[in-house]
Structures are given as C-alpha cells and as structure tokens.
Amino acid sequence: MAESPLLLLVAGIIGIGVLSQILADRLQIPAIVFYIAAGLVVGQPGLQIVTAETFGTAMPTIVGFAVAIIVFEGAFHLRIERIRAAPQAALRLVTIGALIALAGTAIAVRFAFGVSWNLSLVIGSLLVATGPTVVTPILKIVPVRDQVATALEVEGIVNDVTAAILAVVFFQTVNPATAGGDLVRGFVVRLGVGLLFGVIVAGIVYYLLRYVDLSPGDAPRNARLLVLAGALVAFSAANFEATEAGVAATATAGFLLGNADIPYEDEIEAFKGDVTLLVLAFVFIGLAALLEPAALIEVGFEGLIVVVAIALVVRPILVFLSTTGSKFTRQERTFMSLVGPRGIIPASVATLFAVQLQDAGLAQEANILLGTVFLAILLTAVFEGGLARYIAQYLNVIPMRVIIVGGGKVGRSLAERLEARGENVVIIEEDQSVGQRVRNEGYRTVIGDGTDTELLREAGASNAKTVVAATGDDDANLLVSQLVNSKFDVETVIARVNNPDNVDAFEELGVRTISASMATAWAIDNQIERPAIAHWMTDVGRSGDVQEIEITNDELVGKTVREVGPMLPDGCLIALLSKDDPESGEVPTADTVIERGDYVTLLGRTKAVTDGMKLVNPD
C-alpha cells in the first residue's frame, strides 16, 4: 500500500476510536464494544479496508508497544492503599481464581472440541486474563464501591501478566518447534525476568525524575516522555530476554512508579491516559479487522458452549470462592461474577500463536485457538461490557459515597454499619498512625486535614450523598460542615457535637447535629424501655435494616398504606411516612394515601428492605 493511503487509514482508525470514546461516554457503554464493531466493519471481506498485508510484519511490534502502554497505565493507577481495601479477595482472585479459570476453561475446551489437553491449556491460560483494557472502561461508567473496583482492577492487571506467561509456557508443548521444554522453569524465568527489568527501569526513571534537571521550562513534558519511554524500554528489553516477559516488566514498572513520590504525577497520569485511549482504539480496531470470519465459523456451536461455560459457570464459581468471608455483599459478588470480559492480552498473544501454528502446518489448531479466544473476547466484551451498567443497577451496587471525617471509634463504628449495608464509605483521618490503622482494617482512608477543601474533593465530596463530621473537636466538625455545605452539593451533612453547650451554635448555622451526651442517653433509655428493639437495631446490616426513601413509583401513588402493604416483600413494613418534611415522619394509618414525593421509612429483614426500596423507588 502506498504511504499516503496508509497514513490516511491510520488517521481514520484513530478518528473512529475517538468518536467511539465520545459515543461510549454519551451512552454509558464501554468503548471497547464500539472498537470491536468498527474493526469488524472495516475488515469485512467485501470492504477489506484493513487486511493482513496492510501493516505487514509491523503489526506484532505495533501490538506489543500498545500492550506495554496499556498495561503500564493500568498498573500506574493501582495504588497500594486501594489494594488494602480488599487484600484477601484480590489475592484469592489472582491465585485460586486464576487456577479455577485456567482449569475450568481448559476442561470446557477439551470436551467441546476434543482437542489435546496441551492446546486446551493454552486457550485456558489465555482466557484467564480479564485485563485493565476492558475492566477499567467498565468501572468508569459503573461507580461501584472502591473495594469492588480494586479487586477487579488488581485481578485484571495481575492476571494479564499471569495469562501471557502461562500461555507462552504451555504453547511450548503445542508448537513442534519448541516442544519438550521445562514448563515450571519457563514460567519462573519469564516472571523473574519481567520483575527484574521492571524494577530496574522503575528505579532509573525514578532517579531521573527526582534528581536530574529535566530543563525547568519543559520539565512536565520531559517527565511525561521519560515515563512513556521507560514503559516501552521495560517491555522491549524484557521481551528480548524472554518471550512475553515484557508484560510483567511493564506492570512492575508502572506499579512501582505509580506508588512512588514522583514529580508531575498528575501531568504524567493525564498524558498516559490519553495515549492509552489512542493505542487501545487502534489495536482493538486493527485486531478485530484482521480476524478471519473462517476462524469464528470453525469454532461454531462448540465455541459458544465454551464461552457460555466461561461466563456463566467458571466465572461465578471462581468469584464466589475467592470472595468467601469478605466484606462484599451478595449483590456485589454476583456483579463481579457477571462482569469478567477478556481483553487485549488474549487477542494479541493468540494472533501470534495462530501464525506460528499455521506455519507449522497446524491450521485446524490455529483456527480453534484464534476463533475461541476472539469469540470469548467479542461476546464477553459486548454482552458483559455493554450490559454492565444495567446489571449493576439491577443488583443495586452503585452507591453514592459517604464521607466520614474522623477515624476514631465513632467513625469506624459508623463505617462498619454503613459498609454492611453496601454503602461506599471513605474515612478522612488527620492522624497518620490512626489513619494507617483504619486503612489496615480494610476501610478506604484518606490521610489529611478534613477541613481542607481540596482533600474533601480528593475523598469524593463532589459525588457524596452524605458527609459526617465525627471528630472529637467541635470546631473542626463545624468547619467541615460549613465547607461541605458551601462548596459541595451534598444531600445530607451531619456533625457530631461533643460539648452539649455547642448544639445551639451548630443548629443556628443550619447544621444537623448528633450530641454525644444525648445519643448516650437515648441508647440507655432504649436498653431500659425497649431492649428487644435496641438489640435488633444494634444488629442493623446483619439481621435487619431500616431505610428511608422517596416514593417515585407511580404504581404506588394514590394508593393507601393498606393497599401498598401487600405489595411489599414479606418481612418489610412501612414504619413511618413523611409528607412535606422528610424529618417529620409519622406512623401512618391504614387509610393514609401515598403521594409522589412522600418519604417512607421501611423496616424489616435486610433483603426484604432492599427489595422494598427497589419497589418504592425504581429510578
């Protein structure tokens, strides 16, 4: 192809990628769905805008550099403090979960196609990877709780590395040119090479960023380019030493630099994000365009069986086993089990393997390998990626953020109760040692001054429904309340008042307060006069729940409480009804008529209350 048409084609693919991203943002659907659709269109046999000859032998190199940038960018965003929010689940997902995915997929491939165990294990190892290329776009439009997002991100990044190396190791037993190698040694060597080169490159880049003059006027730009070059060098050098070790190298370098104190971090992060979007669009569109329809036809119904087994059997099993005993709700575990799309690592490595198998005269094995992997990518990306937001909404796993300023006993106790209900809780604590203890207990923690507007914004106050000032300092609590009320659009702001004499000062400024002495008196009174309800209320989030919610369901409007009661789930009752002021609830009579905009307080078993909230307010 002449140079100018090729340049026009590259520009066109990038343009399609940018438009796909804009469309994805508008429709709240992961952009990868549009990338794949565009690639399939431009690669149609009738059009053949992109063919195997378009980029020639340069395509593997292009894909390799794209993988380096994408994996580096995903690891760069992964912070240690976020991993601590879900350490056990994340560890299990990348160990027990990865083994289940490998074995389950291999078994499905073996019995669907009747191929050798060696080829089945190659396909199984490739499809272990979920990957940041598909998980991160989903999490951008589905703002689940931080611990859920962290577990999925860690799984994607680590399993990308695991999948790439395992696939190369198992492929040695399939490719006649490399048969007979030591599998365990091959895995350890590649992982070790990747880790070594990643650490070395991260150390060099860190030193240059921190201690070398990068030209004051152009320092931010030079820092961005230096980090980009580091990612590419780590990938290339490690791959030169051991095939597919580059994925481990870039993931290691990205993680280390992302958690290091480097200058111009915000500029680097924004730049890497933009570059990643471009290469992601280019590679997915290009690989989808190069996919031969014959490869998909070759796998046919058997391929569909494998994909269904992966998505609806293997994935749920590995997620539920990996998250046993964790703080995830049942709905969150179900969401994680239904969202595990495959990404660029399986696509790029499978394409490379298929070429080698065809050169070795194993065309059928090449088609089964390529067809199964791409069918899994296509179907999981389209269905799981495209439906992720609707699945999350149906399962009610998209909570607004609750910010608690103060990580003492009061703040931690409140956080425990809120998280048990599935709320997305962030604790702000100024004391370094206390903040570290709270973080180690598994809570998302921001260490710093809660009266700082920028720190509140960093903690997510712009997307919070409730802010609670729960420190032991009334002045700090008052200042936090005033800042939040004036700077952020937060639905509810509540302050803890330690000195009863200060209650009037808070309320004069319109701040809702909880007095420590009054709260204690209420608790003691409840224990004396109504011990059963007091103990039941203490167990909220375990055996039962109480929730207040606005009525928006038109099917309930105009009906009496007597008529609505049977429509609620068993074990859920209407306790209070507020007409004009949400804070002035009263116990309704059976003949009280429900109107749109009323606030109803539901009381009952946790699951029943959750289902009742969906009935009352389905929006």
Which tens digits make up the pLDDT trace of 397-450? 877 778 889 888 888 888 887 877 667 788 888 888 888 888 777 777 888 888
**Sorting pLDDT into bands at 50, 70 and 90, what band is 283?**
confident
Closest Cα partner for 160 from 365, 340, 314? 340
pLDDT at position 171: 80
Q: What crossing angle do the helices spanning 146-171 and 132-141 adopt, rounded to 10°?
A: 160
User: Which stretches does DSSP call E strand in 130-266?
Assistant: none
Residue 608 falls inside a structural domain: yes
Query: In this structure, are 548 and 462 located in the same domain?
Result: no
- Domain boundary residue, one of 475, 499, 528: 528
Closest Cα partner for 469 from 484, 454, 458, 486? 484
Averaged pLDDT of the chain: 80
Query: In this structure, are 438 and 352 located in the same domain?
Result: no
Query: In this structure, are 335 and 420 located in the same domain?
Result: no
Query: In this structure, are 391 and 472 located in the same domain?
Result: no
User: Which pairs with CB-CB distance under 8 Å and at least 24 residues apart come from 555-561?
Assistant: 556/594, 556/615, 556/616, 557/594, 557/595, 557/596, 558/593, 558/594, 558/595, 559/593, 559/594, 560/590, 560/591, 560/592, 560/593, 560/594, 561/588, 561/589, 561/590, 561/591, 561/592, 561/594
Residue 315 has pLDDT above 90, yes or no: yes
**Sorting pLDDT into bands at 50, 70 and 90, what band is 126?**
confident
Residue 29 vs residue 608, higher pLDDT:
608
Query: In this structure, are 385 and 406 located in the same domain?
Result: no
**Sorting pLDDT into bands at 50, 70 and 90, what band is 2?**
very low
What is the number of domains present in the chain?
3
* pLDDT mean over 178-206: 79
**Sorting pLDDT into bands at 50, 70 and 90, what band is 103?**
very high
pLDDT at position 106: 92
Residue 535 falls inside a structural domain: no
pLDDT at position 381: 80
pLDDT at position 309: 93
Residue 55 falls inside a structural domain: no
Residue 3 has pLDDT above 60, yes or no: no
Q: Which range has the worst mean pLDDT, 158-167, 362-371, 536-545?
A: 536-545
In which domain, by residue range, is 282 found?
Answer: 3-49+61-395
User: Which pairs with CB-CB distance under 8 Å and at least 24 residues apart come from 510-517?
Assistant: 510/485, 511/478, 511/481, 511/482, 511/485
Residue 1 has pLDDT above 50, yes or no: no
pLDDT at position 159: 82
* pLDDT mean over 460-467: 82
Residue 379 falls inside a structural domain: yes
* pLDDT mean over 86-100: 84
Residue 79 vs residue 300, higher pLDDT:
300
- Domain boundary residue, one of 493, 528, 563: 528
**Sorting pLDDT into bands at 50, 70 and 90, what band is 91?**
confident
Residue 175 falls inside a structural domain: yes
* pLDDT mean over 103-120: 90
**Sorting pLDDT into bands at 50, 70 and 90, what band is 543?**
low
Say if CB 93 and CB 101 are below 8 A apart. Answer: no
Residue 314 falls inside a structural domain: yes
Query: In this structure, are 150 and 264 located in the same domain?
Result: yes
Q: Using the Cα atoms of residue 355, residue 358, residue 364 and residue 365 in order, give the sign of their dihedral.
A: negative
Query: In this structure, are 547 and 453 located in the same domain?
Result: no
Residue 203 falls inside a structural domain: yes
Query: In this structure, are 549 and 517 located in the same domain?
Result: no
Residue 497 has pLDDT above 70, yes or no: yes
Residue 590 has pLDDT above 80, yes or no: yes
Residue 557 falls inside a structural domain: yes
Query: In this structure, are 72 and 154 located in the same domain?
Result: yes
User: Which pairs with CB-CB distance under 8 Å and at least 24 residues apart come from 209-218?
Assistant: 209/262, 209/263, 209/264, 210/262, 210/263
Q: What is the pTM of this model?
A: 0.66
Query: In this structure, are 457 and 600 located in the same domain?
Result: no
Retrieve residue 594's tokens.
């429900």
Query: In this structure, are 213 and 149 located in the same domain?
Result: yes
pLDDT at position 509: 72
- Domain boundary residue, one of 355, 373, 395: 395
Residue 376 has pLDDT above 80, yes or no: yes
* pLDDT mean over 342-359: 78
Q: Residue 408 sits in a domain of what CATH number?
A: 3.40.50.720
Residue 459 has pLDDT above 70, yes or no: yes
Query: In this structure, are 606 and 566 located in the same domain?
Result: yes
Q: Residue 351 sits in a domain of what CATH number?
A: 1.20.1530.20
Of the ranges 304-313, 322-331, 511-520, the best mean pLDDT one? 304-313
